[in-house]
């Protein structure tokens, strides 16, 4: 169900006119192209090419076939087939396939959950410097998945992933420093790692960084910067960030006070299940005229259209 439809359902539940919500806009007709634009590659043909090369024994192609089966890219998604092809590539030493195979066993995708096998394959990929595998090993020691909880080892793996540019590793290491788990508690270092992950577009890191600028924890308090990072996360559909924007527009923190825009962000957050946003809508709707509500709801639909895919 699209979030636009959820907005309509919310309105029904509150006794408000559904017609106030703009319908999903039709896809505009493509502009006439008089140039020599190349057609987009056909994922089915790409898959078939990789499959032929994989069947001829090429390990890299075997790993790509596994990827495409896992994503359903050019072929119907099939995690059992993904595992079979990743196994071939992983046995041949392809680090990416080893990391993918570790995830398949960790999550039980197309097979039973098997933390021991997941760790074996993650370790093989990590030995080759694969950042994703290093991060995943950090998660296993952080959560105690098939191993004893060990925050020091978790932090070490997160650090190795983070230093290789892995955004998830940077975010996780930032949280470890914020909490003082496996590393000395240090809000400044936490902010630095969160900033690196946020710059790469990780919405969780953008939200956490927004909180730090809002509160001054590990950073110079700056409500305008908080607004910037909350907006970046909200544009990816982060409900907590959306509700922070509700409060900022409602109170005029970091931005001029704008109750209608606050109401619009509240509808977006509420449509994603944010209970605080739902309560906010109920608490303020009596203060707005029907015309204001309609304008705010249409604004919410416009904001939704500007969201980027996560």
List, for residues 212-221, the tens digit of each pLDDT value.
999 999 999 9
The neighbour count for residue 306, using CB atoms within 10 Å, is 8
Q: Give the domain ranges of the chain.
A: 1-19+239-305, 129-236
pLDDT at 43: 93
pLDDT at 222: 97
CATH classification (class only), 129-236: mainly alpha
Asked if 86 and 103 count as a contact pair (C-beta separation under 8 A), the reply is no
* Residue 196, pLDDT above cutoff 70: yes
pLDDT at 293: 83
**Cβ-count burial 176-204 (b if 16+ within 10 Å, e if not):** bbbeeebbeeebebbbbbbbbbbeeebbb
pLDDT at 47: 96
What DSSP line would sit under the chain, residue for residue? --HHHHHHHHHHHTT--GGGSPPPPPPPPPPP--S-PPPPP-HHHHHHHHHHHHHTT-HHHHHHHHHHHHHTSSS---HHHHHHHHHHHHHTT-HHHHHHHHHHHHHTSSS---HHHHHHHHHHHHHTT-HHHHHHHHHHHHHTSSS---HHHHHHHHHHHHHTT-HHHHHHHHHHHHHTSSS---HHHHHHHHHHHHHTT-HHHHHHHHHHHHHTSSS---HHHHHHHHHHHHTTT-HHHHHHHHHHHHHTSSS---HHHHHHHHHHHHHTT-HHHHHHHHHHGGGS-HHHHHHHHHHHHHHHHTPPP-
Element of type H or E holding 183: none
pLDDT tens digits for 93-147? 999 999 999 999 999 998 999 999 999 999 999 999 999 999 999 999 999 999 9
Q: Lowest-pLDDT range, 37-41, 215-219, 228-232, 262-266?
A: 37-41
31 or 255, higher pLDDT? 255
pLDDT at 22: 35
Q: What is the pTM of this model?
A: 0.83
Q: Please classify residue 275 by burial: count the beta carbons closer than 10 Å to its beta carbon, then call 0-12 exposed, 13-18 middle and 19+ buried.
A: exposed
* Residue 36, pLDDT above cutoff 80: no
CA distance 48 to 61: 11
Q: Lowest-pLDDT range, 5-19, 93-107, 115-129, 188-202?
A: 5-19
* Residue 21, pLDDT above cutoff 80: no
């Amino acid at each position: 169900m699209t979030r636009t439809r959820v907005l309509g359902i919310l309105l029904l539940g509150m006794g408000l006119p559904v017609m106030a919500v703009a319908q999903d806009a039709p896809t505009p007709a493509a502009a006439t192209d008089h140039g020599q634009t190349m057609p987009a590659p056909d994922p089915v043909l790409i898959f078939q090419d990789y499959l032929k090369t994989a069947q001829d024994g090429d390990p890299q192609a075997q790993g790509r076939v596994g990827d495409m089966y896992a994503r359903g890219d050019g072929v119907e998604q099939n995690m059992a087939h993904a595992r079979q092809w990743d196994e071939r590539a992983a046995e041949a030493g392809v680090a990416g396939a080893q990391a993918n195979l570790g995830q398949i066993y960790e999550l039980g995708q197309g097979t039973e959950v098997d933390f021991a096998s997941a760790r074996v394959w993650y370790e093989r990929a990590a030995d080759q410097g694969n950042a994703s595998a290093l991060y995943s090993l950090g998660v296993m020691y952080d959560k105690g998945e098939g191993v004893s909880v060990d925050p020091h080892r978790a932090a070490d793996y997160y650090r190795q992933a983070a230093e290789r540019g892995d955004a998830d590793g940077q975010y996780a290491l930032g949280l470890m420093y914020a909490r003082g788990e496996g590393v000395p508690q240090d809000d400044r270092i936490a902010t630095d790692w969160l900033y690196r992950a946020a710059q790469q577009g990780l919405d969780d890191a953008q939200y956490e960084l927004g909180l730090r600028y809002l509160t001054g924890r590990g950073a110079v308090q700056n409500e305008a910067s908080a607004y910037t990072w909350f907006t970046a996360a909200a544009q990816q559909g982060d409900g907590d960030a959306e509700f922070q924007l509700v409060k900022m527009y409602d109170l005029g923190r970091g931005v001029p006070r704008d109750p209608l825009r606050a109401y619009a962000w509240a509808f977006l957050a509420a449509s994603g299940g944010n209970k605080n946003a739902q309560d906010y809508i109920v608490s303020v709707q009596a203060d707005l005229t029907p015309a204001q509500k309609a304008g705010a709801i249409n604004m919410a639909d416009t904001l939704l259209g500007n969201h980027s895919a996560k």
